[in-house]
Amino acid sequence: MAKKYIVDLSEDEVSQLQSIIKKGKHKARTITRANILLMAAEDEADSAMPTAGYAYADRVRVHVATVQRTREKFVIGGLDFALKDEPHPPKPQKLDEKQEAFLIATACSNPPEGRVRWTMQLLADHLVNLGIIDSISDETIRQTLKKTKLNRG
């Protein structure tokens, strides 16, 4: 049988969780986790009943694993650790500085023959055809040009 994590909240922690739920100015995940911790602390039968996590999950409409992880995080790291999300690692940029400079220069240049202007897909295809980058989407092109505040209109 898996190790059981017993949630024992102080009065201060209970009032803090209740204020999070009542104000509604927090992320939905934080409010859900606060509800889970309050239910786990109020239920005396929790330690004796292995299916108590299922009841919490049904009431809060989350998976049982979410209830178990929230309880475990509270026991291991405390209230703030259980309520907050870990920061996500930054995504690597698709284009480096030289590739971005080439894209901007291409977008500012005359379009290919038979075209009135560069489209996002045309720019993406052009970068791939020249071997500047292996693959790139038109949305990445759009975001890059938007970031540089390049007015195409």
Condensed to tens digits (0 to 9), the pLDDT of residues 88-142 reads 899 888 999 999 999 999 999 999 999 999 999 999 999 999 999 999 999 999 9
Q: What pTM does this model have?
A: 0.59
Closest to 95 (Cα-Cα) out of 139, 49, 48? 139
Share of the chain above pLDDT 90, in %: 58
Closest to 81 (Cα-Cα) out of 33, 140, 150? 33
Q: What is the pLDDT of residue 107?
A: 93
Q: What is the pLDDT of residues 43-102, one digit of tens each?
A: 744 444 455 667 778 888 888 888 889 999 999 999 999 999 888 899 888 999 999 999
Q: Where are the alpha helices (DSSP H) in 6-135?
A: 11-23, 28-42, 52-60, 64-77, 79-83, 97-108, 120-129
